[in-house]
Amino acid sequence: MTSWLDKGASLDPGAPCLTLDGVSLTYGDVVALSHRVARALRRSGVRPGDKVGILSANDPIAFACVFGVARAGAVWCPINPRNAAAENQELLALFDCAALIHQAGFGELVDAIAPGLPQLSTVVCLDGARGATPSFGDWLAAADGDPPAEAAPPDDVVALVGTGGTTGRPKGVMLTDRNLEAMSAITLMSYPFEGRPVYLALAPLTHAAGVLCFPVMALGGEIVVMAKPDVARFLALIERHRVTHTFLPPTLIYMVLGHPDLASTDLGSLQCFWYGAAPMSVSRLEDALERIGPMAQLFGQSEAPMMVSTMSPADHRHADGTVARERLASAGRPSPLVTVAIMGEDGTLLSRGERGEIVVRGSLVMAGYYRNPQATAEVSAHGWHHTGDIGYLDADGYLFIVDRAKDMVITGGFNVYSAEVEQALMAHPDVRDCAVVGLPDDKWGERVTAVIELAPGSTVSADDLAAFVKERLGSVKAPKQIEFWDSLPRSTVGKILKTDVRAALTRS
């Protein structure tokens, strides 16, 4: 993973690499810091193949640590700071994390989960010591003068990314150097990059916004980091830094479209405004094409990062410049280096226009799930990676996604698994049974919606149930809409029919 950083540094070590609030770390600075982090990790007992978690909001120093982890031959584990404490503890335990680097703002969270992580031997605070936890500066200084630390992971796995599942249990997606090289190569092959790019990162660097930094670095580009969402500042930074590339989920793009500063902002520097991570309204996309400019779609998942299919700015329009409305609802065409097919339930590949599960082959696909051979075998059946999405390829090769076989809800760019929310609701004594689905939402892409069968005599409110889930799973996974029904539709064997639930909610 250090190759992108080192390539950028070879082009100009004095060029700005990571910028926050007008202060930049140059490529030379980030390279030097990555070596110091690698030495400190080795002094702390972290060996090639060990797992290192990074828990931070968007921050240049925290992101620079990713390259130190890689230089030490360790495995980067991005931890979502929006997760509830129990979920992050479960992920860190699943990953066997030996070290955790965190911002002070998450100190209480770390204090709550660290006692339940017996393999966690090293904890470092990025912005000051906290009790027995050393400061980042002191931790680095203790290893200054040590021999250089440069190693490769023994099995080529460079990142472990947490994901959920239909059972609600997290899984660890093992990504290799080859996976991320394929993702970066596809990005550079599929989208416009003229000159040295300037990439604005508002979305979390633990997700898509982070891995999109890698191809930008290979070109020696500048990454302007936003610590927290602020649409007015986002627009101002595009104009101030002459931003060429950025990424937002549809929810935030809708906020950009509704902001009064949009009309007066100079967006002429933009070459590529990526959107993805959730379904986007076609009408809003048309509006964005006219008012923002060069929109570009990407579709992928943790197991095949980012680039299963792509739609460049040029693909959004016909040759005469008119908007290609007939393909705006698609996820673009299968990417270079990726083979995409549609598979029936019996494993046969279907013809153009037929609907089935979207399956993928190629160097983009993960090595497997960490310590979960059964799940790995299931998702790799018939020699293809199964995305769990239902879709079809049209006559022109555009991929359309029509359903999610695993009942996953994508809300505000984050994946929420219905079974996990259902389990949290079922823990409430007043809930007899429930079903959780995703419904279309103009703001969130999809909203988490729960239908509840109450226990006899219960009078719990929707607000109380939403707060109950929020306390256990965090705000992203808490239902935005809760309905109370006398009974849920069930099959003859007692299984809740979510298709009927979703249809009834859509009609109401």
In a domain, 295, yes or no: no
Q: What one-character-per-residue DSSP string does 347-381 give?
A: SPBPPTT--EEEEEEETTS-SEETT-HHHHHHHTG
Q: Cα(172)–Cα(331) distance, rounded to whole angstroms?
A: 25
CATH code for position 37: 3.40.50.980
pLDDT tens sequence across 319-369: 999 999 999 989 999 999 999 999 998 999 999 999 999 999 999 999 999
Task: Name, of 162-171, 174-183, 414-423, 438-447, the range with top average pLDDT.
Answer: 174-183
Q: What is the identity of the amino acid at 133?
A: T
In a domain, 417, yes or no: yes
Q: How many domains does the chain have?
A: 2
Q: Cα(47)–Cα(64) distance, rounded to whole angstroms?
A: 19
Domain of residue 470: give its range.
Answer: 408-507
The residue ranges of DSSP E strands in 245-377, in sequence order, are 245-248, 272-275, 295-301, 304-311, 333-334, 338-343, 356-362, 368-369
Nearest to 124 by CA among 148, 108, 143, 140: 140
Ranking 4-18, 49-63, 148-162 by mean pLDDT, the lowest is 148-162
Side-chain-facing half-sphere of 452: CA atoms under 13 Å:
29
In a domain, 501, yes or no: yes
In a domain, 71, yes or no: yes
For residue 165, is pLDDT > 90?
A: no
In a domain, 421, yes or no: yes
In a domain, 424, yes or no: yes
Instruction: State which of 107, 126, 154 marks the end of a domain.
Output: 154
- Helix, coil or strand: residue 123: strand
pLDDT tens sequence across 455-483: 888 889 999 999 999 999 999 999 999 99
In eight-state DSSP terms, residue 464 is H
In a domain, 87, yes or no: yes
In a domain, 332, yes or no: no
Q: With contact defined as beta carbons under 8 Å apart, do 346 and 226 qualify?
A: no
Which token pair is 357?
A: 């599960």
Q: With contact defined as beta carbons under 8 Å apart, do 395 and 353 qualify?
A: yes
Instruction: State which of 126, 154, 182 marks the end of a domain.
Output: 154
For residue 167, is pLDDT > 50?
A: no
CATH code for position 461: 3.30.300.30
In eight-state DSSP terms, residue 323 is B
pLDDT for 84? 75
pLDDT for 491? 61
Question: Which residues pair with residue 246 across a beta bridge?
Answer: 200, 273
Instruction: State which of 154, 171, 201 marks the end of a domain.
Output: 154
* pTM recorded for the entire structure: 0.82
Main-chain phi, psi angles of 218, to 5 degrees: -60, -25
Q: Residues with Cβ < 8 Å from 205, sequence gap 6 or more?
A: 58, 62, 63, 78, 213, 225
